[in-house]
Structure 1
Amino acid sequence: MNPLTRAARVLRRNLVVIAGLGTLGFLLLPNVIVTVFSFNKPNGRFNYEWQRFSTDAWTDPCGVADLCGSLSLSLRIALWATVGSTVLGTMIAFALARYRFRARSSVSTLIFLPMAMPEVVMAASLATLFLNTGVSFGFWTILIAHITFCLSFVVTAVKARVMSMDPRLEQAAQDLYATPLQTFRKVTLPIAAPGIAAGALLSFALSFDDFIITNFNSGSTVTFPMYVWGSAQRGTPVQINVIGTAMFAIAVLCVLVAQLAGRRRKRS
């Protein structure tokens, strides 16, 4: 067989896999660049060209003024926004999936509207609301704004999980004399837990790296994404790459732990 024909046949047979690996590599390329440049020691303020290998930034990640302060603020906002949006979103998802009430379709449309709306429109609307009500911009306005736009993603994830649940499992628990609270705690909640966890993780990621909505509603408060944006105009410190690499490594580690735990649970 002609080598070109054989290569074309192999390529056609594995085209989907090759395209998937190429797309994955393209998506991970920025993370690789950030990781490489976290070990760079630039001569000037801008960390855009490789100069020489150094671990100074890793030994002192808080060496730049206000960097760790903005990071701590972003983590606190993301944590509280995750808690608030997950609690509210879970209750809304159960209400939309389990109950029939007037204006149910209208509520569903309003809940999902922030997902389709451009972020700049929502950011400007929230800023106008806070200005008209006389609320001072700062931590609380950022938190309220983040809970507002994270809510839709939690409702979507949890509602999909709840609608796929078999109601006969809850009926079986009630037939075995379980109270409504016991049924919810031991049957309903464990089944819905993957959807709730997915919504919570998505909320944390969206809140932590949000810039547009935060920029409109932060006032003088500086979160980590806003710090990165401001420092890029004056010179990007290597410590930003260090923190970005650490966050990416933590996210990958959490995914691997979850995958291993899932496999071990299936085996048992």
Structure 2
Amino acid sequence: MSVGGVVELRMIPVEQIAVLNPRDRNARIFEDIIGNIRDLGLKKPVTVTERANLGNGLRYLLVCGEGRLKAFKTLGQALIPARIVTASDEDAFIMSLTENIARRAYRPLELLVGIEQLRDKGYDKKAIAEKTGLSLDYVKGILQLLQKGEERLLVAAEAGRVPLNVAITIAGAGTDDKAIQAALQDAYESGKLRGGQLMQARRIIERRRTLGRSVAHRPTRKPVGMTSSSLVRNYQQEVERQRLIVRKAEFTQQRLLFVIEALRQLLADENFTNLLRAEGLETLPKQLADRVWSGGHPA
């Protein structure tokens, strides 16, 4: 990718800048950006390219610096320092994506979406690696998982919870529980998975099996296949659920007994019952009255 022309630096109106590749950002990080700009000023200008056909008073396409631009708007600033570059829509889009990927504080899915967008733009693995500064093997692995729709494994691999090559092996096993367990055992024995990573991998596989490969929604279809290990696991989960129900029932019963005893003592107080009668509250629901006056209602 090449960007031609002379780079110019000037102050431009924030309201004339259109955001090319908008993204959500962490609220705490955004507050830090606002605080830094308020206290120290803008250290790095935004980068824009001029356009004559954007409409609605917009004259510039934002290439890099969406957070800084939003911070300036939040602070009520009318003008912002900007580097004016000459770039085609395609080059501007690539520059915006690669800046997001190069950020130190990106979220895992942002990197994955960026790689996917570059692929959809027609760039091959080698070109994506060159433009993002990522290794060719890494890009190949990510694209392979993207092709299979393995979002859970992708996020885990990008965040370092599971090695990429292990994630690819798990994805290759599909939904075959035996093949997945064999892959985990091989990864552990070969040193690819250690300690906490093994537990993380097992948790991801469980969520992948029950909630699907995507992190965005629960699948409508039921998981297929049932192994002896999954049957035992489901049984243990059901036993624990029943135990929890019993504990909740016992706690509720204790609270009910406390309320009943408290009502008995209060209703034995003539002043209290006269007060209830004056307010028209002298009756109790039948189920509660039967428990409070198990020996019969006092005359």
Is TM (by shorter chain) over 0.5?
no
Higher helix share: 1
Q: Which of structures 1 and 2 has the larger relative contact order (alpha carbons within 8 angstroms, sep 6+)?
A: 1
Higher strand share: 2
Q: Which has the larger radius of gyration?
A: 2
